[in-house]
Structure 1
Amino acid sequence: MTDLMRPNIASLIPYSSARNEFTGRAEVFLDANENWRDFVGDKGRNRYPAPLQRTLKQKIEQVLGLPTDRLVVGNGSDEIIDLLFRIFCVPGRDKVLVMSPTYGAYQVFADINNVGVSDCPLKDDFTVDLHRLEAICHLINMGNPSTGMHKMLFLCSPNNPSGNSIPLEPIRNIATCFKGITVVDEAYFEFSGKPSAVTLMDECPRLMVMRTLSKSWGLANARVGLAVAPLEMVAAMNKVKYPYNMSGIAQELAIEALGHAQEVYQGVRDIVAERALVAAKLQNYRFVLEVYPSDANFLLVRVEDPNGLYDYLKGRGIIIRNRTSVRGCFGCVRITIGSTMENEKLLQALDDWEVMA
């Protein structure tokens, strides 16, 4: 693992904050140059947060079964993605592999870090083209860390924007075949009912998995992303991340949300049921050409006039995502599954659009 890292990162001596050097209880804290006063209700907001989020990680292990020593908690999954680029990819030399259409942040963070991006497009049904991928891996595996190589391969499962999951067997084969780091982004995992790629980590030493509390756990505003990674990668990410990368407020909210697991899981079941109802009704409209199967909390829908439909719904105060400009998604819109009331408002508006079209 270390041989894949940028040499300056592998040898990096990280910044040591006051809260790294002392953990435990004390009556007087005079080590971090904090203000002794808390002006917003005596809630400890004047104190720096826990840099390694140990209490939160313990709660994550208790509720989600993810081992604390394999966890990195980030300011959203986007921080995790950016950390991976900064740890492994030498700017202007290394590359990553994506499978379009997929989450656009992979490309953006590659561009920010001056890292090239290769693409192995998904098939028309958004499944992985395993024969093409095997051939690509054979070619890109010829690179090496000293002269430049494909350091990471991103798999989004369930995939955004298509919504379908990648089965574990192809993930296992990919992670075994690819010489770099295979990153599986499971942001929508809870809606799928499918097994997690975390179960493959013991047999795939270069595999890491991302999760988030933004979707099923309803904490998009708090920005809580998770990485489940090999120990060497965890150590590197903890060295490179900002010392206090997650606010104490966000940590408290995450712990509180994890204490409502049964409500969250019921909410997931409700969304999955609504997803099936909305998908069935969408298929009855003449302007709908295809509703793609989804394991996420959204539906990708190919329609006759995506631009017109988007503008019409916006005029009705309903915002969906127009994905027609995304490679592989021509004519498509992405619709998040909302509450029953929100879904009914959407379908009523679509009834009216059907009459007008």
Structure 2
Amino acid sequence: MTSLAERLARPEIRNLPRFELSDRGCPAAVRLDANENPFPPLIDGPLAQDLNRYPDPRPESLRRRMAAIYGVAAERLLLTRGGDDAIDVLIRAFCRPGEDAVLVRPPTFGAYAHFARMNGVRVIERPLGPDFSFDAETAIAAVREDGAVKLVFLCTPNNPTGTVTPVADIRALAKALPDTLVLVDEAYLEFSESGSAAPLSEALPNLLVLRTLSKAYGLAGARVGALIGDPEVLEMAGRTLPPYPLPGPCIRAAELALAPSRQPVVEARISRLTTERRRLAERLTDSGLLTAVHEGGGNFLLLDTDTPEALAARLNASGIKVRPRPQVSPGALRLSVGTPEENDLVLAALGVGAPRPPGRRADISRDTRETRIAVAIDLDQAAPRRVRTGVGFYDHMLDQIAAHACISLILDCEGDLETDPHHTVEDCALALGAALKAALGDRRGIGRYGFVTPMDDAEAAVSLDLSARPFCRFEGQFATDRIGDYPTALTPHVFRSLADSLGAAIHVRVTGEDDHHKTEACFKAFGRALRQAIRLEGGDVPSTKGVL
């Protein structure tokens, strides 16, 4: 019995073997197998890393990491050059030019019809419902009526309307059309509360799911995506890929962006964008300038107005670019959700809000051979706070800094704890200081100085000057070597690292009997001093020199 992939594939693809390439991942002292230039390009810096060598044709570490994030087995995921490549690959593998057809439900992502027509494949269109909903019955009827449809495209959340199709409707569609491939494009799923259709593909071999790192992970320029589905269908589709599907720098960028230490900051950014999407939708709905605001589940809004040219011109005059979507309606515009500052500019340009002072936020990463760290910090918000370094007591101490400074802190670290906590403790302090420095910007208007804290038998005094000049003095002794898995001897080192990377003078003095209390008092006192020092007190640089 032939498989679904063999039945649906074009004969040319069915008879086409995949490229057989040598294993680029195996160690070799001398590589003379691929006709590469042995000399690296004349480019300075990390960009030049291995650019004279062909990349891994099957980067398994990246595939496994993406599969883990999407909750599927690695053999059920095929890496592609972004979502566009996944669409093109499926059409080329399964649709015969001049014979087969695809079904799209406009208004939706234009690439489905574009790649079909480019490959000589007929496009059948059945518009979405009046509320932009995707009803399975209309799609099923269209496929059965035509008889030549190989692929049905379903985008959820839909671009550009933002509407979400329930997973139950996706299941009903795929079950009713067992000999037709159904591609569910989930490029924007991270911004919605809907579950993925990927688990359904295990029981439905004709169901495929598209995911991309372009949106939620901020890698639009790297062009990394994936198809999820039946391994035999993916293998057949993969025969149309070039021998080296992903460039080496893109593979490395994706592996870094998907590191476990990055996930808490990615989730915080997604939460920030969805909060901003709701804020924009509410303000624009009340503006009186629009006939409709469709929020949906993406990282964008679909706007409708009676005067689209005037509205676009008004925004363009303020340097704000939006996307007209006349295929939705004559007055439709799509507005991506930007940073809070960018969104304030949109509201100000439309006369429904004034720009606020720039937020004092920073998202940074710090990678070494020993640690991989991501930090998100907001000096004007007290939450969320999430710290994971792998050193339990140190997590508690860094959380104490954030709690007593009344700031939001998300910090995650993957460190070589099997060797020793030293690198993790030091590098997290350096990363925290760098994030504080970035969030403070030019330090205009801050209190600059901060001063203290008793804790039972212990007393810690911290004097802090956010002077942009690093200096640290620590006075105090600890009798015990460790508190849990945290080496007490590293406490002075933490504050020296903070001083160096933050650009601050930090003086710490601690006395007492209980080393737990003494250590905690130091971190709490620093948090309280930081709370005073970062407080906004005006608009000037806090120095008679006029600069820090």
Q: TM above 0.5, one fold?
A: yes
**Which digits, 9 at most, give the CA deviation of each residue in 1:211-264, with x for residues without a partner?**
000001000010111110211122112221001111010000001101111111
Aligned to 1:135: 141
Aligned to 2:64: 58
Contact 2:135 2:169 in 1 (8 A): no
User: Does residue 5 in structure 1 map to residue 4 in structure 2?
Assistant: no
What are the within-5 Å matches in structure 2 for residues 50-199 of structure 1? Answer: 50-140=56-146, 143=147, 149-178=148-177, 179-199=179-199
Q: Structure 2: which 5+ runs fail to align?
A: 354-548
Which amino acid letter does the alignment assign opposite residue 8 of structure 1?
E
Contact 2:205 2:229 in 1 (8 A): no
Secondary structure of the residue that 1:72 maps to in structure 2?
strand
Aligned to 2:423: none
Deviation (angstroms), 1:309: 0.9
Which amino acid letter does the alignment assign opposite residue 138 of structure 2?
R
Range with bigger deviation, 72-81 or 152-161: 72-81
What are the within-5 Å matches in structure 2 for residues 337-352 of structure 1? Answer: 337-351=337-351
Which amino acid letter does the alignment assign opposite residue 57 of structure 1?
R
Which amino acid letter does the alignment assign opposite residue 84 of structure 1?
L
Deviation (angstroms), 1:296: 0.5
**Which digits, 9 at most, give the CA deviation of each residue in 1:10-41, with x for residues without a partner?**
1112332344xx64111111111111121335
Aligned to 2:307: 305
Paired with 1:119 and 1:173, the residues of 2 have a C-alpha distance of 20
Contact 1:96 1:151 in 2 (8 A): yes
Paired with 1:227 and 1:137, the residues of 2 have a C-alpha distance of 22
Aligned to 1:146: none
**Which digits, 9 at most, give the CA deviation of each residue in 1:274-331, with x for residues without a partner?**
11111000011222111113100001011121122112211220001111x21x3331
Which amino acid letter does the alignment assign opposite residue 198 of structure 2?
V
Which amino acid letter does the alignment assign opposite residue 266 of structure 1?
A
Paired with 1:53 and 1:343, the residues of 2 have a C-alpha distance of 38
Paired with 1:312 and 1:104, the residues of 2 have a C-alpha distance of 27
Paired with 1:187 and 1:301, the residues of 2 have a C-alpha distance of 20
What are the within-5 Å matches in structure 2 for residues 223-242 of structure 1? Answer: 223-242=223-242
Secondary structure of the residue that 1:252 maps to in structure 2?
helix
Contact 1:307 1:322 in 2 (8 A): no
Contact 2:287 2:352 in 1 (8 A): no
Which amino acid letter does the alignment assign opposite residue 182 of structure 2?
T
Aligned to 2:268: 266
Secondary structure of the residue that 1:201 maps to in structure 2?
helix
Structure with greater Cα Rg: 2
Paired with 1:309 and 1:194, the residues of 2 have a C-alpha distance of 32
Contact 1:137 1:177 in 2 (8 A): no
TM-score (ref. length: structure 1):
0.92
Contact 1:299 1:334 in 2 (8 A): yes
Q: Structure 1: which 5+ runs fail to align?
A: 144-148
**Which digits, 9 at most, give the CA deviation of each residue in 1:146-171, with x for residues without a partner?**
xxx11000000000000011001111
Paired with 2:95 and 2:161, the residues of 1 have a C-alpha distance of 28
Which amino acid letter does the alignment assign opposite residue 231 of structure 1?
P
Deviation (angstroms), 1:107: 0.9
Deviation (angstroms), 1:118: 0.6
Deviation (angstroms), 1:172: 0.6
Name the structure with the higher strand share: 2
Asked which structure has the greater RCO (Cα within 8 Å, sep 6+), the reply is 1
Which amino acid letter does the alignment assign opposite residue 92 of structure 1?
G
Range with bigger deviation, 234-243 or 254-263: 234-243
Deviation (angstroms), 1:352: 7.2
Secondary structure of the residue that 1:351 maps to in structure 2?
coil
Paired with 1:18 and 1:199, the residues of 2 have a C-alpha distance of 33
Paired with 1:177 and 1:101, the residues of 2 have a C-alpha distance of 23
Aligned to 2:360: none
Aligned to 2:455: none
Secondary structure of the residue that 2:124 maps to in structure 1?
strand
State which of 11, 15, 20 in structure 1 corresponds to 2:19.
Answer: 15
Aligned to 2:49: 43
Which amino acid letter does the alignment assign opposite residue 250 of structure 1?
C
Contact 1:56 1:254 in 2 (8 A): yes
Deviation (angstroms), 1:58: 1.8
Contact 1:101 1:329 in 2 (8 A): no
**Which digits, 9 at most, give the CA deviation of each residue in 1:179-219, with x for residues without a partner?**
31000000001000210010211222200000000001000
Contact 1:121 1:129 in 2 (8 A): no
CA gap of 1:14–1:203, structure 2 versus 1, over 3 A, is closer
Aligned to 1:250: 250
Deviation (angstroms), 1:63: 3.3
Secondary structure of the residue that 2:163 maps to in structure 1?
coil
Contact 1:63 1:261 in 2 (8 A): no
Range with bigger deviation, 83-92 or 286-295: 286-295
Aligned to 1:292: 294
Deviation (angstroms), 1:46: 1.3
Contact 2:89 2:238 in 1 (8 A): no
